[in-house]
Amino acid sequence: MKVGEILSLARLRKKVERLKRRGRSVAFTNGCFDLLHAGHVAYLAAVRRRADVLVVGVNSDRSVRGLKGPGRPLTPAGERCRVLAGLRAVDFVTVFDAPTPLSLIRALRPDLLAKGGDWKPSQIVGADLVRSYGGKVIAVPYLAGHSTTGLIRRIKRLRKI
């Protein structure tokens, strides 16, 4: 069974450069991936089908707290990375500490930049950069009824029962 690699940006950049020299296309996406669910799995598989290699940038714990609030993340970054690396669709995982993945996108120069369906391609961080060198930017529709926020709401309701 294939397992994705969890790498520092420096090591990931070298791997991606090597793969691109061999003619492989590279897709990049990012997110918190706090509680992995079927929507995430479907989304990542859809992105991976559009490229030879899928790189996932994972928000650090500090970054998630800044985006989602003091109660998050529920799962530490290292565990989120291990879960993502275990998915068939994911080739490489790296953690970033900034509010956005722009520095990763600049360093990796993916052929495809993807986000979930709640993002318009024009609003995706790094979209202009990726388009400037001929890359593509896509928003992949969500699997209806699946979100981390929805899962957390259901868990909280169940605790009250």
Spell out the per-residue pLDDT of the chain, length 161, in tens. Answer: 567 999 999 999 999 999 999 999 999 999 999 888 888 899 999 999 999 999 999 999 999 999 988 988 989 999 999 999 999 999 999 999 999 999 999 999 999 999 988 888 778 999 999 999 999 999 998 766 656 666 666 666 777 75
DSSP designation for 27: E
- Per-residue confidence (pLDDT) for residue 147, from 0 to 100: 64
Instruction: Please state the domain count of the chain.
Output: 1
- Per-residue confidence (pLDDT) for residue 120, from 0 to 100: 81
Which amino acid makes up residue 42? A
- Per-residue confidence (pLDDT) for residue 149, from 0 to 100: 61
- Per-residue confidence (pLDDT) for residue 11, from 0 to 100: 98
Strand pairing report for 136-140 and 53-59: unpaired
- Containing structural domain, residue 145: 5-160
Residue 31 belongs to domain with CATH number: 3.40.50.620
Which amino acid makes up residue 135? G
